[in-house]
Amino acid sequence: MSQRNAGTLRHPLVLLFGLLLAVPLCVGAQQPVQAAGANTPYIDRIAYSVKADAGLDASVANERSALMHYQWRGKQDTVAYSVRTGHLIARDAAGQPQATLSYVAYTAPARNGKPRPLTFFY
């Protein structure tokens, strides 16, 4: 995780990177689910830097996230899954932001009473 330095959050992970990880790897096999109101996209307007010494001002840090629903279709099976990507904020004991962490979480509901795996990318 990044450390706070002079009012900035250093080395933020780029939300765009997380969104790229959320792009289906087998484009032809995955379809968006067309449930009305189910998807909650989020457009992050923050201009991130890829420089090693760059930082994110603590005043703009937030924990908003995007949630999208998809289906993966194999030869004999279809798996509905969700992708959530966003930021988490690490705070000190006084509640002040110290670092941010971007994440991508892939989840699928239980099937036939058996839990499905859960995968996170940080």
Chain position carrying tokens 């379809």:
31
CB 14 within 8 A of CB 48: yes
pLDDT at 120: 66
Specify the number of domains making up the chain: 1
* Percent of the chain whose pLDDT exceeds 70: 64
- At 49-107, the pLDDT tens digits run 888 888 777 678 788 899 999 988 989 888 888 899 988 888 899 988 888 888 888 88
The rounded mean pLDDT for the chain is 72
Q: Report the percentage of the chain scoring pLDDT > 90.
A: 7
Q: How far is Cα 120 from Cα 15, in angstroms, rounded to an integer?
A: 14
Torsion, Cα 46 64 21 50, to 10 degrees, reads 30
Confidence bin at 33 (pLDDT 50/70/90): low
The residue range of the domain holding 44 is 4-121
**Residue with more model confidence, 78 or 8:** 78
- The answer to whether 83 and 65 have CB atoms below 8 angstroms apart is no
Farthest-apart Cα atoms in the chain, separation: 55
